[in-house]
């Protein structure tokens, strides 16, 4: 056989192998993430789908096959994640409607890529933004191909990217009132309409307590390792005698013990637990402290969690629609601009949040709780004054850091806003929202 023929045959064989690998990979992708439009199987009889308490997520779900289900919801296939109206849905916005108001010279421009090397261009303003909203602030979620469309209670519509970090990827568990308990994959979801629970089911054992840290104490509803928020959830870890799973409703307190946890049970006995959830790999502890909204306490600053009764938490109707942000922006050259505000070319409603760190604690504060933000020129920290008068010194990171896109101010209701660079902002005073 000629060398050319051999080479062509070898090339064809390699091509076939590549195509076969692609086909196998695509098939696996379809099995795990593809457009599975079949009706999800019930994993428990209808009698197990008891009435939902008003504090639990509840809604009507339409799947790709056309079937409609209604009942209690918990995020994640298997139902191990967000369960309450105060929990947050996360995504990444794929479109920024405020970009049209930024002067073109501030947007920058893309360079030209030649063989993967970018030539020319300049520093381009990053307009991509993460998205966070409490489930109680959302009216509807729609899955449409590459986009996830969210409608807030205020009527504002936001588009997030399905392929980016997006909580819809995790699917959800649904306690249908007539069909039973169903696990719904992310690609099976077409629409989710959030609704108040029509009944008054049993009071859930929601985790509540005080988290002691080097930065102070935080009290409120708790999610251990970011997702364990119910008494029936389990803390899985290792002990000197082997692996162990401990229900949270049997625990009195958890204290950090170097890279492990000292767990004190309700009966007074103590267990030392090790492993990802009970050591340095812990993702952090969420606390819904009413003073701040929500904080995330890192393992590095965590000292102790003491559980205490806390009730059930807010119902869907306890979250009013967001209002437009309004206030006064004072610049470093003394200008005072009053009107509707868009913070960081992104947040424009009272239910949206200021996200910034301080001493290994990440704060997520709804703008409706903030009275003012002061940005001293030479100081590393910003002074955030809350509506209750409490003051926080937050690091110049997150929404207070250099990547902040600046402020838009619609002065006196004008259609075209004034644009102020973040570096030119000295202070922002928010008007108290009124209805």
Residue 273's pLDDT is 95
d(CA 329, CA 344): 13
Residues 68 and 154 in one domain: yes
Show which of 256, 278, 311 is a domain's final residue: 311
Task: Confirm whether 15 is domain-assigned.
Answer: no
Task: Confirm whether 18 is domain-assigned.
Answer: no
Residues 268 and 297 in one domain: yes
Residues 345 and 254 in one domain: no
Task: Confirm whether 7 is domain-assigned.
Answer: no
C-alpha pair distances (Å), 49 with each of 53, 63, 141, 173, 254: 12, 19, 23, 11, 32
Residue whose entry in the numeric block shows the structure tokens 């070898």: 10
Residues 119 and 174 in one domain: yes
Residues 223 and 169 in one domain: no
pTM assigned to the model? 0.84
Residues 356 and 408 in one domain: yes
Number of domain units in the chain? 3
Task: Confirm whether 271 is domain-assigned.
Answer: yes
d(CA 19, CA 17): 5
Residues 182 and 57 in one domain: yes
Residues 354 and 222 in one domain: no
Residues 397 and 336 in one domain: yes
Residue 413's pLDDT is 83
d(CA 211, CA 253): 10
Residue 129's pLDDT is 79
Task: Confirm whether 29 is domain-assigned.
Answer: no
Residue 2's pLDDT is 46
Residue 332's pLDDT is 95
Cβ proximity of 229 and 55 under 8 Å: no
Show which of 171, 194, 217 is a domain's final residue: 194
Show which of 145, 166, 194 is a domain's final residue: 194
Task: Confirm whether 35 is domain-assigned.
Answer: no
Residues 55 and 157 in one domain: yes
Task: Confirm whether 59 is domain-assigned.
Answer: yes
Cβ proximity of 207 and 230 under 8 Å: yes
Q: Which is it for the CA torsion 73, 74, 77, 78, positive or negative?
A: negative
Domain ranges, residue 125: 42-194
Residue 269's pLDDT is 96
Residue whose entry in the numeric block shows the structure tokens 């993460």: 130
C-beta neighbour count of 271 within 10 angstroms: 18
Cβ proximity of 89 and 163 under 8 Å: no
From first to last of its 435 residues, the chain has per-residue pLDDT tens of: 444 444 555 555 545 554 444 444 444 344 334 445 555 555 666 555 568 899 999 999 999 989 999 999 999 888 789 999 999 999 888 788 888 888 887 765 555 555 555 555 555 666 677 889 999 999 999 998 788 999 999 999 998 887 666 788 888 999 998 889 999 988 899 999 999 998 788 888 999 999 999 989 999 999 999 999 999 999 999 888 889 999 999 999 999 998 899 999 999 999 999 999 999 999 999 999 999 999 999 999 999 999 999 988 999 999 999 999 999 999 999 999 999 999 999 999 999 999 999 999 999 999 999 999 999 877 779 999 999 999 999 999 999 998 899 999 999 889 999 999 999 999 999 998 776
Residues 168 and 215 in one domain: no
Residue 40's pLDDT is 55
Residue 334, CB-side half-sphere exposure with 13 Å CA sphere: 0
d(CA 363, CA 358): 8
C-beta neighbour count of 180 within 10 angstroms: 19
Task: Confirm whether 121 is domain-assigned.
Answer: yes
Residues 340 and 287 in one domain: no
Residue 326's pLDDT is 97
């Amino acid at each position: 056989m000629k060398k050319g023929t051999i080479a062509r045959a070898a090339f064809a064989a390699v091509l076939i192998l590549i195509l076969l690998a692609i086909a196998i990979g695509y098939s696996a992708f379809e099995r795990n993430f593809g457009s599975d439009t079949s009706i999800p199987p019930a994993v428990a009889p209808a009698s197990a789908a008891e009435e939902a308490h008003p504090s639990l997520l509840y809604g009507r779900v339409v799947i790709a096959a056309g079937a409609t289900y209604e009942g209690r919801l918990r995020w994640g296939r298997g139902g191990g994640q967000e369960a309450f109206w105060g929990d947050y849905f996360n995504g990444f916005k794929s479109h920024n409607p405020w970009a049209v108001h930024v002067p073109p010279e501030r947007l920058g421009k893309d360079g030209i890529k030649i063989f993967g090397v970018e030539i020319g261009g300049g520093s381009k303003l990053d307009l991509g933004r993460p998205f966070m909203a409490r489930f109680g602030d959302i009216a509807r979620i729609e899955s449409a191909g590459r986009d996830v469309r969210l409608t807030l209670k205020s009527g504002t519509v936001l588009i997030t990217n399905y392929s980016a970090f997006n909580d819809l990827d995790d699917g959800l568990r649904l306690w249908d009132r007539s069909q039973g308990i169903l696990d719904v994959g992310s690609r099976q979801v077409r629409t989710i309409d959030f609704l108040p629970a029509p009944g008054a089911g049993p009071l859930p054992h929601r985790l509540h307590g005080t988290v002691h840290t080097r930065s102070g104490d935080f009290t409120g509803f708790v999610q251990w390792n970011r997702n364990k928020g119910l008494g029936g959830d389990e803390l899985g870890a290792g002990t000197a005698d082997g692996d162990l799973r401990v229900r949270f409703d049997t625990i009195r307190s958890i204290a950090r013990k170097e890279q492990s946890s000292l767990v004190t049970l309700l009966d007074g006995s103590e267990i030392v637990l090790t492993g990802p959830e009970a050591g340095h790999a812990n993702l952090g502890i969420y606390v819904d402290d009413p003073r701040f909204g929500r904080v995330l306490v890192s393992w590095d600053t965590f000292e102790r969690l003491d559980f205490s009764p806390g009730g059930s938490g807010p119902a869907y109707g306890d979250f009013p629609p967001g209002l437009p942000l309004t206030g006064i922006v004072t610049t470093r050259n003394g200008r005072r601009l009053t009107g509707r505000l868009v913070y960081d070319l992104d947040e424009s409603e009272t239910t949206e949040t200021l996200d910034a760190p301080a001493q290994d604690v990440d704060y997520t504060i709804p703008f409706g709780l903030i009275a003012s933000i002061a940005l001293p020129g030479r100081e590393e920290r910003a002074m955030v004054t809350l509506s209750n008068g409490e003051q926080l010194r937050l690091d110049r990171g997150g929404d207070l850091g250099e990547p902040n896109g600046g402020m838009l101010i619609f002065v006196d209701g004008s259609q075209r806003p004034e644009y102020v660079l973040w570096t030119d902002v000295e202070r922002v005073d928010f008007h108290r929202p009124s209805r």
